[in-house]
Structure formats: structure tokens, C-alpha cells
Amino acid sequence: MAKLYSRRAILAQIALGAGVAGAGLPVSHAFAAQDDRPWSFFTDAEAQWIAAVADVFIPQDDFPSASQAGVVDFIDFQMATAYGAGEGLYLDPPFPSGAVPEQGYQLKFTPAQLLRQGIEQAGQLGDIATMDATARADHVEQMSERDDIVGTLIAELWKLTKQGYFADPIYLGNHDYAGWRMVGFPGAHAYYTERVDADKRSVTPPPRGIAHDRGGTPYPPRAIGGGSD
Amino acid sequence: MAPRKLPKTDVLIIGGGWTGLTAAYELTHAGQRCVVLERGKKRHTATSFGAPEEHDELKYAHRYSHMMDVKKETLTIRNNRDQQALPMRRLGSFLPGSGLGGAGIHWNGQIWRPLPSDLQMRSHYEDRYGKDFIGPELSVQDWGVTYEELEPHLDFFERICGAAGFAGNLGGEARAGGNVFEGPRSADYPNPPMRQPISNTLFGEAAARMGLNPFPMPSANVTKAYENPYGAQLHPCTYCGFCERFGCGYYAKADPIICVYDQIKDHENFEIRFDAQVLRIEKSEDGKTATGAIYLDANGEEVFQPADTICMNAYALWNVHLMLVSGLGKPYDPETRTGVVGRNYSYQTVAGVDAFFDKSVETDPYMGAGALGVVIDDYNGDNFDHSDLGFVGGGYIACKQYHGRPIGYQPVPEGTPKWGAEWKQAVRENYNHHADLVVHGSSVSTPENYLDLDPTWTDSFGRPLLRMTFDFPENDRKMSDYVMQRAMDVAREMDNVTSVSGTNNAAVDKHYDIVPYQTTHNVGGAVIGTDPETSVVNRYGQMWDHHNVFVFGACLFPQNLGYNPTGPLMGLAYWTLEHMKRDYLPNPAPLMDA
Ligand SMILES: Cc1cc2nc3c(=O)[nH]c(=O)nc-3n(C[C@H](O)[C@H](O)[C@H](O)COP(=O)(O)OP(=O)(O)OC[C@H]3O[C@@H](n4cnc5c(N)ncnc54)[C@H](O)[C@@H]3O)c2cc1C
Ligand code: SF4
């Protein structure tokens, strides 16, 4: 097999399940060489765990998996910035038990705390890194049904995974417009007055993000795994 | 420390959204010195909402960057009095605004009028179906103001917005292609209807084949270059699909900044203060009038602004909150069913229907606009016979194309797994072949759905949070299910549709849920009427208990319409302002005998 960029090989193993080769991963960007960037928030182990779960949510097919599209980078960035620190979240005590789901989020944790503590607790329920793809999917399903911090964590990660896959690439996910190309969403530059009632659609314009004209996505997704180059 | 006291102003206006800025415009021109206190920031359509930066789905649609901050103020929520209410820790079900223009900068722009019978809901149903038709578990009541009285004001607001539509009842004459159920209009819409995409068109064709009456949704997404009566210039909509939850940098969505604020901001009688959080309204010693408001200014200092007249324009929920923390009016007690402030809170009963096309119909959902829809009103209000249905009210059914923003728009047929390979495949296959139908239903008021103050949690200013006790009444569950079935009938009749599914927020096995977005149509709690035992303000919007306080917004609605609230509440606003200018200001006294 052709020699893969080594960190990406590890990403492939982590993300797709042990033993599955990651041939065909997109290394399509001029900045692809910048791969020793540390995580802003995650430890390598946390990043691996997130990648495994995110790729259960959105696995690879003709389009990249979540982690291949930069979802882990996206979540890392979110956790290190305002959202992770609890912006838009009222966290005044008390936090009584007995909440019903209709009352929404009632934990005392910021998203960053939820991810860190949730991942730690989830680690006690099984080692996702050693599971094959089917076992991972079952494991994520079971975690999602739990009525505790792990269940809340999985719900939060599913939300964040979709955001990372489809948000503007300025947030480091949706790399190379993976999500937008998959559905056919042309992005931020939007003027459709002349087309909206056309009988037959013309070709959807290629995606363009907010910073497209300034060079598009600044970085490709980080390699995940911390393996040696 | 006593708050710093400022010189008195004629009129103090709390809130700088649609109703507040409009009150300022009208009263300033009536010679009143107006001070607007707005808790949020200054921002402007020209400089704050430009594309492509504004077209950031994550930031505005999911991180709510234009909306209020629950860290500062929120409410607690429970479904019934047996539960402990818990804080709404994140925004979800509704998205109140903050900052210049309020929620009016990030609304959809669906601009409706109430049906004449809606405004006389109790007497209308009793006349048509008998005295006992409205059961004792409902506290539905008449508004105390009629469609004929509001019509000129509804019409004027449509002109302020440059509304786009096709009149279905022009001066009493029904016109096919418009809403044939609406009340008589004194004039047609100022602008022609929007262009419709394929999904909405197929819906309209199916509805027409079934003998129903489709028409284009009335829209404040403007369709032509237009100048409003205040002199504001609006431009045609680009169908950009970043509309609701976003500001419109194209000057195409009518918003209170361009339509009102720009036309009043330089007037010598007008002043607005930003970062001015009103904490409470102060009363005179005899309690009969209000003397002004205490607010926190941008430096965090407490300031007292005295005024002769006070306008409450802080949005439905926060008007009620301010009344409760200030001791204005008599709070409602569900135990004894006495008192009025907080009584008759209601909402909007929303169901959705998804129809999926075969591959020959390509919808391009990203070409959208906040009020882009084709509607039938055949099942709204009392437009259909309720004799054997066991409920009152109804809703409109719209096939709409607001946006195809991919974080939020991932339609998949029923039975699709919630994530994984099959989900991914389904998203990919259906994104471009989906029709999005909504049942936008009314919400009756009941003695058990109400607002009061929470005993446990406080906001960042130390005031008790507002507490919301709400669940969908039995009446609305039945109504919503019935109208949703009708929507599914139309969806099945649509050409090239391969599957249809429905989701009812008010289904029998569900309770009102604060998490998923439904609508920012919180209504009631300070309702309008002719009886001080069952209303907070008289039919002119003036508080019964404090005659120099006038109340604006959807808190006035005694129960909710099947329509979006801004058209109706702005009709009421202009009605109130007319009576303030003509009758109250020359002779400040109660406009009705209690
Ligand atoms: C996403 C979305 C879509 C919508 N779409 C539609 C639609 O299509 N059609 C429709 O009819 N309606 C729609 N609405 C509802 C519409 O926005 C409101 O009905 C309308 O804005 C109400 O105007 P208002 O002046 O009463 O309140 P707001 O616009 O909310 O203005 C109130 C202002 O008061 C300020 N304020 C509050 N408390 C204080 C305080 N204590 N001190 C100082 N200032 C304070 C707030 O910051 C705010 O700026 C939508 C709302 C949202 C959020
Ligand atoms: S859809 Fe039209 S009205 Fe709405 S934001 Fe875009 S251009 Fe403005």
C-alpha cells in the first residue's frame, strides 16, 4: 500500500475502526503539511474518543467522515472559545434533581466541562478505540440511552458533530466544503431573485464560504492520534 | 445608594423594537419628548447585517448572536403546578430579541391580520354554536376591540413594511388568488406577492384541485423598490435564505431600524439610550400612576428616569415580568382564579408535515425567504364548521421555503435512523427533494396556563425570574391533530410526492417542551379587554390600575390567533397610539370607566 502521511494513517485507524485502512483520505489542501498543531482544548486521547464517536454519527462514504471533514477540530475550537465556556448558558444554582426532559439542559457544567467529565465517565463504560465499527455503533447507541452525564454528552456531541460538518469552514469543520457539497448547498454568497421560481433548476453554484475569497479554509483537519511521524 | 435622578421626560418607552420605536415615532411627532431605554446594543442594518459575514448559520441561527442573553435574564418553566419549575438555561423554544430593533430585525416577516371573528372569539362561538360550546376549562375571551376598528391600523403597518401579497377581500369583495377568508381590506397590499419556488407551487396546485383556497403568504420580505410612509427606502428580496434569525443587510426585510428608527433618530424630541436595562417601574404614593423607571446604565449605575407617561414595549414576556417585579396591576392567582397580571398566557400550537418528492422535483431549498410560502386558511379560526369537532380555533397550513441552511435543514423520511450511514445517505438524497409544510395553530387560554414570579431563581440583577406554567390544552391537541391531518391530505395530493409524515408538538403523548424551536409568539399575561377583572389594560391598551402606563405587544392577546402576532400587535399599537395622541395626552385620565 502506498505510503500514507503517517499521522493520517493513525487518524484512519482511530476513525474507521482498528484494522480498516484509510486509503483515499483527502489531503487536498496546500496547508496539509501543518500537522503538528496541538489541540486547543482536547488531550490526544480525548480527541481520539471524540473522533470515534463522531465517525459513528457520520461515517465515511463517498463523502468524508465527520473527523475527516474536521469535526474534531471544530469541536476543539468551540470548547476553547466562548461556547465551551458557557456563553448563552444560565448556570445559576441550585440544580435540583427531578427535571423532566421538557425543561431542557439542567446540569451545572459548561459544555467544556461536560465534554471533559463526560468523556472520563464514558471511558469506564468501554474502550471505544479497541472496538470494530459495529461494536462502536452499538456502544454509542447504548451510551445515548443513558440517563446520566454520558447520555447528555452524546446528545451534545451529536449536535456539535452536525454543526461541525455543516457550519461555515471558518470554524474549522466542513473542510473543503465536504458537508455543503454533499447536500448541494452553495453557501454564504446568496442572491437568487432570478432563479427562485425557475421551472427547472440550473446547476447549483459551487459552495463558497464567508472567507472563500480570502483563501477559504485556513487549515486542513488535524491528524488525530499523536502517533510518531 | 439612591439611584441618580435625571430630569423628567414626557414619555418613557421601555424597549426599542417594533412597538417601542413606533411609539417613539408617533409620540415624538405629537410633540412629546420621548426617551427610549433599550437593554441591548446599538446596531444598524447597514453596518451590522452585511453579507457574506451575516450568512453565518452557526453564529446567528444556532448560537443566537442577535438574541437576548439568558445569562442576564431568563425564566423558569414547568408544564403544570405540580412540577418544580426549572430555569430555561439555554434559548430554544422561542428567541426573544435584544438590541436596537428587538426581535424585529431577525423575524421572518410573515405579516398577518386577525380574522374579524378572532377578535370576538367568545361571543362569536357562543353565537354560532351555543352558550356552552366553549367549555369551562377555557378562559377564552373577546378582545374588546373589533376588526373594523383595527383595520386602518393593520393597513398602515403593512404600508410601513411594504408588505407583499394579494388581497383576498378588497372592500368586501372576495378575490380568488388571495385569502378569501380574511376581513375586508381598505386597500390592496402595497407590493405584489413573492415569487414561489416549485415545492410551494405544487402545494398550491394540489390544494386548488381539492377545492381549497391557496394564496401567497403575506410577506414583509419586500418584492420591489419601495418607499414607506415614513420615508424609508426598501429594496427587493434576494431570496438569500438567511432571513429568520438573521438581519437583512439587503434592506429587503422590513425591520424597525430602517422602517422606523432611521426616520426618527435625528428628531430633537427623540432620545434612545442603549445598554439601559430597566429594572422596575416606580409608582406614585397613592399607587394610581407610575412615576418613571429605574434602570442600569451602560456603566452599571442605577438611574431613575422620571416621566409623565410610560410605554411598556419590552416584548410580551418581559412586559409581564416588569409588571410583576414593579407591583403594577394585580398578579393572577390560579388557586382563586383572581388577579390579572400573568393570566391567560398562551402560545402557538405548531405541527409540521414533511413531504418527499421523487428525484424529478428539485427544490433548491437554499433559495428561501422568511415569508416565502403558499398558504391555505380553510382550517383557520372559524373558517370551517366546528359543530362536531370538539374544539375551537384552527390554524393556517403553509408550504414554505424559508431556507436550506444545512445545520438546521436535514429532512429525512420517517423511519430513517437517527445517525450513521443510512442517515447520511438519506440527508444527501432528500435535501433537494422535500416540501416543508407547517400547521400554524391557535392557542386557547386556560386558567392553568399563566405567568408569575419564581420563588427560587433570580436574574443577574437580583430580580426573581419569571415563571412560566404551560402545557398544550386538550382543545389545542385536538385542533392541531385535526388540521395536521388536513395538511397531510394536501401533501399526499401533491404531484411527485412519494412519502408524507407529520410531527405534532402537541400530540397526545407529548408535553410542551422548552428545547426545540417552535415560535417566538409568546402571548397573553397582560391582556386587553373591557372588564378589569379579566384584563390588565382597557381596550385602548391603558392599564386599568395606573392610567399613565400603556402596554404594547402580544401580551395583550387574550388567547393566541392562528396567525403570527406582529401584524395584529402592531395594529393594536397604532390603535393605542391614536387614542393616546387624540384623547389621553390632552387630558391624562382613564380612557374607560372601570
Ligand atoms: C426568529 C423569529 C421569527 C419571527 N417571525 C415572525 C413572523 O414571521 N411574523 C410575525 O408576525 N412575528 C414574527 N416574530 C415575532 C416578532 O419578532 C415579534 O412579534 C415582534 O418583534 C414583537 O415586537 P415588540 O416590540 O413587542 O418586542 P421586541 O421586538 O422583542 O422588542 C422588545 C425590546 O425591548 C427590549 N427590552 C426588554 N426588556 C427590557 C428592559 N427591561 N429594559 C430595556 N429594554 C428591554 C429588548 O431588548 C427588545 O429590544 C418572530 C420572532 C423571531 C424571534
Ligand atoms: S430572504 Fe430576502 S428579506 Fe430575507 S434576509 Fe434574504 S434578502 Fe432579506
The pLDDT-based confidence of A204 (bands split at 50, 70, 90) is confident
Rg of chain A over Cα atoms, rounded to whole angstroms, equals 19
Task: Report the CATH number at residue B569.
Answer: 3.50.50.60
Mean pLDDT lowest for which of A30-34, A123-127, B73-77, B315-319? A30-34
The pLDDT-based confidence of A202 (bands split at 50, 70, 90) is low
- Per-residue pLDDT, averaged over A36-56, amounts to 95
CB atoms within 10 A of CB A96: 10
The pLDDT-based confidence of A215 (bands split at 50, 70, 90) is low
Catalytic residue among B321, B434, B521, B579: B521
- The tens digit of pLDDT for each residue in B328-350 reads 999 999 999 999 999 999 999 99
- Per-residue pLDDT, averaged over B224-242, amounts to 98
CA within 13 Å, CB half, A173: 26
Dist. CA B23–CA B16, nearest whole Å: 9
For residue B558, is it within any domain? yes
pLDDT of residue A96 exceeding 80, the answer is yes
pLDDT of residue B497 exceeding 80, the answer is yes
Computed over every residue of chain B, the mean pLDDT equals 98
In single-letter form, the type of residue at position B428 comes to: R
Q: Does B198 touch chain A (CB under 8 A)?
A: yes
The pLDDT-based confidence of A200 (bands split at 50, 70, 90) is low
Tell me how many domains chain B contains: 1
Q: What does the domain layout of chain A look like in residue ranges? A: 44-89+103-184
- All cell numbers assigned to A118: 463526560
Q: Strands B277-283 and B395-400, how do they pair?
A: unpaired
Dist. CA B220–CA B254, nearest whole Å: 6
pLDDT at residue B373 in the model: 98
Dist. CA A174–CA A227, nearest whole Å: 24
Are residues B308 and B588 in contact, defined by beta-carbon separation less than 8 angstroms?
yes
Q: How far is CA B542 from the centre of its chain?
A: 20
Return the ligand number nearest the Cα of B402: 2
CB atoms within 10 A of CB A4: 16
8 Å CB contact of A183 and B432: yes
pLDDT of residue A20 exceeding 80, the answer is no
For residue B592, is it within any domain? no
Closest CB to B86: pick one of A56, A103, A180.
A103
Q: How far is CA B342 from the centre of its chain?
A: 17
Domain coverage including residue B119: 4-584
Dist. CA B305–CA B296, nearest whole Å: 11
pLDDT at residue A220 in the model: 82
Q: Does B513 touch chain A (CB under 8 A)?
A: yes
Dist. CA B293–CA B278, nearest whole Å: 7
pLDDT at residue A10 in the model: 39
Computed over every residue of chain A, the mean pLDDT equals 84
Using alpha carbons, select from A15, A37, A66, A16 the residue that is nearest to residue A175: A66
The overall longest dimension of chain B from CA atoms, in Å, is 72
pLDDT at residue A3 in the model: 32
Dist. CA B67–CA B88, nearest whole Å: 15
Rg of chain B over Cα atoms, rounded to whole angstroms, equals 23
- All cell numbers assigned to B212: 381549497
Q: Which of A56, A107, A193, A200 to mutate to test the interface with B (most CBs of B within 10 A)?
A: A193
The pLDDT-based confidence of A212 (bands split at 50, 70, 90) is confident
Closest residue (by CA) to atom 4 of ligand 2? B243
pLDDT of residue B374 exceeding 60, the answer is yes
pLDDT of residue B548 exceeding 50, the answer is yes
Mean pLDDT lowest for which of A122-136, A211-225, B87-101, B304-318? A211-225
CB atoms within 10 A of CB B273: 17
- Per-residue pLDDT, averaged over B169-177, amounts to 96
pLDDT of residue B579 exceeding 90, the answer is yes
B44 is catalytic: no
- Per-residue pLDDT, averaged over B46-72, amounts to 97
Mean pLDDT lowest for which of A35-49, A99-113, A156-170? A35-49
In this predicted model, which residue has the larger pLDDT, A92 or A215? A92
Q: Which residues of B touch A170 (CB under 8 A)?
A: 56
The pLDDT-based confidence of A216 (bands split at 50, 70, 90) is low
Using alpha carbons, select from B300, B301, B282 the residue that is nearest to residue B291: B282
Shortest distance, CA B228 to any CA of chain A (angstroms): 22
Return the ligand number nearest the Cα of B55: 2
Using alpha carbons, select from B210, B281, B203, B260 the residue that is nearest to residue B494: B203
Dist. CA B554–CA B526, nearest whole Å: 9
Among B235, B248, B405, the mutation site with the greatest number of ligand 2 atoms within 8 A of its Cβ is B248
The pLDDT-based confidence of B307 (bands split at 50, 70, 90) is very high
pLDDT at residue B195 in the model: 97
Q: Does B514 touch chain A (CB under 8 A)?
A: yes
- Per-residue pLDDT, averaged over B435-453, amounts to 98
Shortest distance, CA B221 to any CA of chain A (angstroms): 12
Q: Which residues pair with B229 in a beta bridge?
A: none
Q: Does B204 touch chain A (CB under 8 A)?
A: no
pLDDT at residue A1 in the model: 31
DSSP assignments along B120-177, one per residue:
GHHHHHHHHH-TTSS-TT------SS-HHHHHHHHHHHHHHHT-B---SEETTEE-BT
User: For a pLDDT cut of 90, what percent of chain B falls above it?
Assistant: 99
DSSP assignments along B322-374, one per residue:
HHHHHT-SPBPBTTTTB--BTTT-B--EEEEEEEEE-TT----TTSB-TT-EE
For residue B228, is it within any domain? yes
The pLDDT-based confidence of A214 (bands split at 50, 70, 90) is low
- All cell numbers assigned to A131: 472496538
